[in-house]
Structures are given as C-alpha cells and as structure tokens.
Amino acid sequence: MSDATPAPPAGYALVTGASSGIGEQIAREYARRGVPLVLTARRADRLQALATELRAQVPVELVAADLADPAAPEALVAELARRGVKIRILVNNAGYGIPGRYRSSDWTDHAAFLRVMVTSVCELTWRLLPSIRTAGHGRILNVASFAALMPAADGQTLYAPAKAFLLKFSEALALENNDKGVHVTALCPGFTYSEFHDVTGTRARMRVSPSMWLQAADVARAGIDGTERGDVLVVPGWRYRVLHAIVKLLPHRLALGMMARNSRKVRPLD
C-alpha cells in the first residue's frame, strides 16, 4: 500500500482578485495543495509576478480582467474555453469598498462596485457552473465578510448588503448543487491584514483591537478547508465566532445601536 499523498482532482481553480490580500493567499494555498490555477485581476504586472512564482509548483494561467466592465465575465470564460482550460473550483474574491455615506459618491462609482461585487459573481458562477458540476469534486468559494452577519454600519453603504447577498447566494447554490457533490462556501472573515483599508483610505482611522485582526493566509486556509469539508459558512477566528453567536441573541434594535456607535471607529467622515 502506498503512503503517497493522492493527487488532487483534475481541473483548475479560478481565483478572481488574485493580485493581493486574501485572493493572493488563496492562490498560494491552492498551489501548495497542487491545484493548477487561473489568476485574474486588474493589475497584470502583479499577477505576472505571482504567476511566475507559483509556476514552480503548479501550472498557472493568467488572464487580466476588470470585472467592473460588464463584458468581462463573458470574455473571461470565452478565453478559458479558447485555451482549453477546465474550471473545477471558482473563487469569487474580487472586491473593494467605497468609503463614506451613500450620497458622497457618484452613482457611476456605486454601479461599478455592484458589478464587481454582485453582478460579475453571479455571471461567472452561472457561466462556469456546468463545468464545475461535471468536473467531480466541484467547489465554489465566495469571499464574503463578517459584515454580512452583522447589522449594517454607517458608511460604505453597499458593502455589507453586497456581502450579505453573497452569503444567501452561497446557501442557495449549496442546496441546488449538493446532488453533484459540489461544495459551496461563503467565507466571512473579519478585519484582515491586506490592502483593503489602504485602498479605501481608512487605515489611519482604524481603532480596532489588535486581537481582532486576522492574517490573510490564515483566512485563506480556513476558507479552503471549510469548502473541502462542505461547510456552507466559514467564520475564521474564534473571537469572531463568539461575537457572531452573541449578536444573534441580541434584540435587533440594540445590535443596530451598538453598530451605530462603533461605525465611527472604522469609517471615514464625509
């Protein structure tokens, strides 16, 4: 009897938003596990550097795409078909935040945000689901946020609703595709060390206990492990799991009031 580690099932993992943060760490973790990769993001130079590094472990395909472009999901899937790349795992990770209250940003900014955070996720999933269902051991990992599990906050008005949509979307997909052995997971991390708060310009205003910050590599590993187990919801970090349990027990008005008082610790002023 051989003690060799079995090879992973055939098929690529497509990771959106793979150029930094949690997406980059998810790509690194899949490469460590021997899963070939398709990496996509807007920043082609950073993708190329990561692809060059990871090709020492697994085959890596690179497709630069801006998911704020309504044509991007269809074009991305068409390019994969042209290359003959079969997707077994889809990681919908691309995302960002728009700081400030709702009317402080133009509608064009909000519309682009929704295309990246919601519409492109739905379209990529719809277009790739047949391949994922037929590949065997299919997986869909949607990177949501702990914000999806909490009352809404003041500022970044569309962020929590978009992430809550990903959670419900994941639950429905999990039920619909369980018959084919497809595992669908919503990963809901809390505050994570990445470029997120630098991009939104909120880093200097963050007044969050150091104990509440997560490492992106730990979040990535927790999400992939949860997807392999078939967990529909993954909340990394025991402190966040305890907080989630407490918030569920609070009256909604009280929980919303607590969020209103704490929003100013992590949100920029208009």
- In the block, tokens 């402080």 appear at 104
Q: Which of 30, 96, 102, 159 is catalytic?
A: 159
Quote the CA–CA distance of 136 and 230 in Å, as a whole number: 14
The answer for 137, left when phi > 0, alpha when psi is -120 to 50, beta otherwise, is: left
Determine the Cα angle at 16 with ends 14 and 21, to 5°.
120
* H/E element, 89: strand 87-92
Q: Is 159 among the catalytic positions?
A: yes
CA–CA distances in Å: residue 73 to residues 6, 115, 195, 246? 33, 10, 24, 39
Residues serving a catalytic function are 159
